[in-house]
Amino acid sequence: MSPRLLRMLGWGSAAVLGLLTVTVFVLVLIPAKDAVLPTKIKYGLVFDAGSTHTSLYIYRWPAHKENGTGIVSQVEGCSVAGPGISSYADNPAGAGASLKPCLDRAMKIIPAEQQRETPTYLGATAGMRLLREENSTKAEQIFAEVSKAIGEYPVDFRGAQILTGSEEGSFGWITVNYLLQTLVKFSFAEKWEHPQDTEVLGALDLGGASTQITFQPGVPVEDRNTSVFFRLYGTDYSLYSHSYLCYGQKQVLKRLVAALHQANLSAEISHPCYPQGYQENLTVAELYDSPCVQAPSSVNPDLVLSVMGTGDPAACATAVQRLFNFSCGAQWPCGFNGVYQPPVRGQFFAFSGFYHSLHFLNLTGGLSLSFVNTTIWKICNSSWEQVQELFPMASRTQRRDACTASSYTLTLLLQGYKFNYTTWPNIHFVRQVANVDVGWTLGCMLNLTNIIPSEPLTAVTELPRSIWIATTVLLAIMLILTFCLLTAMCYQRNSSGYEQL
């Protein structure tokens, strides 16, 4: 073999070995950056089947959970047309059919490949609790039909059930505190953490058939029937929570008319909370169509009653107060009707009916209790003509109930839940927080994520694009030089063979 060829082989081998060494050195010393691949997003559906209407809420959260609880956000809310499902007692199939437009909407939002693993729940509240008391068979038929309707969609339907009052109140409490970031917040260290030295907030909920109060008391809860425990984001919470059935706004308005009727059993009812000059007719059967009101046995259900407003604020306040029993006795402190309640403590968020009844009178902006009292008194002292002028865009029912609803709200908060002039500023009336409707459904979804399996984050080693390009070029050069080296070696062997011949 010629000396020139040997020198070529030597230099080629050295070049290849040198490039290999440089490449390995570069790959070892390049500062790798750990990057987390986008996590899979999971979805969940929750139907809020309330006493007056039903809504579907679409939630989502990353598959990786924080301390056992998903970081859940609301994607969209869909209002179901028509009344609450309890109103379909004589037409159960109608209850199921009413849900389908919102389910169709959800299927357009959730990716098709994830729909079958989307947990779906229907929670019914006080309206269905009342129907179950009145006629359990009809309640079961409604649940069968709504379950059938939801089961026709490609979702992971996990059942329809009636929430207990404690669950409804507690889930509302979770919603409020989650949205206000008292349970978990994103820190400057770019991770979700439990906030230190942060007081949680109480929750006040007023629906159509029940009302709930939930808060973290400063003393041990003495009645275990009102004691609730939660573990969220790695932290334990001990709460007081109670729900009063038949003290929702719709049922209270009905109970008040029934109480006025029973006072003299006359076909003409003077209503001090209705504006003076207002008049309407209704039958006894319509008035006593709820388990919250019991009709006198001697009254003909077809009898037509005439209800006339008298616009008397003092008499209105007295009539509303008669719906409560404020006596607590010596056993323990109470809210009303003898139900144990420790003293209210901390800040409270009041939503649903609490917000709507006072917002109608523009009284939700952190106003003083004296101003709120004065405004409600003026409304209750107004004539039907004046009320119509004050609220030209409102419905007839809203105008009629403006005095009654606000008077009841004030009585419930002050004499029922024992707020006063000192603690009144601690109540914040809200409909939404961070563009999310405040209610029990988000809290329910957060709680349910504790039983939804989590998936670990997937980490990869990510290199800057320029480094990848340089490395690729080096490898290409190595391959070319290796090819040249092998070609030269083959040439050497062939030349040696010729020389031997």
d(CA 179, CA 70): 14
Q: Pick from 257, 252, 220, 262: which is nearest to 239 by CA?
A: 220
Q: Are 118 and 44 in contact (CB under 8 A)?
A: yes
Give how far Cα 387 sits from Cα of 250, 307, 375, 384, Å. 20, 17, 13, 5
Burial of 280 (0-12, 13-18, 19+ CB in 10 A): middle
Based on the number of CB atoms within 10 Å of its own CB, is 422 exposed (0-12), middle (13-18) or buried (19 or more)?
A: exposed
C-alpha–C-alpha distance, residues 303 and 285, integer Å? 8
Six token digits for residue 124: 């019914």
DSSP assignments along 435-488, one per residue: TEE-SHHHHHHHHHGGGSPP-PPPEEEE--HHHHHHHHHHHHHHHHHHHHHHHH
Q: Tell me, yes or no, if 168 is annotated catalytic.
A: yes
User: One of 66, 145, 167, 168 is an active-site residue; which one?
Assistant: 168
Task: Return all residues near 284 (Cβ < 8 A) that are at least 6 apart.
Answer: 295, 299, 300, 301, 302, 303, 305
Please give the biggest Cα pair distance in the chain: 135
Token pair 């809310």 in the structure block, residue: 77
- For tokens 């079961």, name the residue: 140
Active site residues: 168
